[in-house]
Structure formats: structure tokens, C-alpha cells
A = this chain, B = another copy of it.
Amino acid sequence: MADGQRFDDEVLITLLRRLTVESDRFAEMFAEVHGVHRTDMNALAVIMDAAKAGTPLSPTALAAALNLSNSATTSLLDRLERAGHVERIRSARDRRKIELRMRDQARELGIAFFAPLRQELLAAWRDLPDDHRAVIGRFLTTTIDATVTARGRFVEP
């Protein structure tokens, strides 16, 4: 019965909405289980991305990325430092600046976060042939672009 379904625009939009809602729930549940806030998870993700890119992150840059005030970012970093996820290091060249370094603990938390989801996703996609992956990849890319564009429309319509 399932295979006969027509995937018109409405159905795709509904599926997209369900996907984002479920992803959100997953992240929220994970944060709750591990006793951290959603904001903290997002902050760790930003810091981790910066570490991957080799760019040491500053509190101000983090605040901008999270759309958060500087003062709120200070207490966020207090929390993360107290929990042992992050280290504040005064820059040697400009001693006003602070560089944020992740501790291994946080990296392990990130892996623990994604491992179960990752495993399920890989299993779900195991039999996808390359041409289907190409279709899906282009779909995701254009959909991401559309979302970004739609957000831009609000800021400067």
C-alpha cells in the first residue's frame, strides 16, 4: 500500500516538517539526558566546527553565532568550563582576547550524541544506489538554499 503513494508538494512539505520536528526532539532529549541546555549543545557544536576548521573561537564570535548577548555568553562559558567541556585560554599576542578550546570530554559527548542516530541513518540508507543518492543530495541542497533564501526575505524584503 505504501508504494503507491503520490509524493506531491504537500506531502513533501509535511515530511520535511516532521523531519525537523523529530530532529529537534532528538536533540532536546539528548540534552536533557545529559543535563545540559539546548544552548550549550549549540555552543559545543559551533566550537567543534571552529576547531575542525582550525580557527580558534572567541567568546564574542560565539555570541554572534548563537545570537546571544556577550554577558549571556560569559555565563554560558562559565557553565561549560565548570562542567569541564571547554577551556578559556588568554591569547598570548592580544591579552584581551580569549581563545576557547574544547576538552576531549566534550568531543566524546558529541560522538555519543551522534553515534546512535548515525547508526540508524546508515542502516536506513544501506541499500541506496548512487543515482538515488544523487537525487536526494540535490534535493537537500536546493531545499537548504530555499530555506536560507526565505530567511533572507524577512530581514530585507
Contacts and interface: CB of A to CB of B under 8 A. Distances in A.
**What is the oligomeric copy number?**
2
Contacts of A8: 133
Classify the interface of chain A: helix, strand, loop or mixed: helix
Interface residues of A, number: 57
Contact of A15 (B9, B144, B146): B144
Contacts of A119: 150
19 contacts: A7-B134, A9-B121, A12-B137, A12-B140, A15-B137, A15-B140, A15-B144, A16-B121, A19-B19, A19-B140, A22-B147, A22-B148, A23-B147, A29-B154, A30-B154, A116-B153, A120-B153, A124-B143, A125-B143
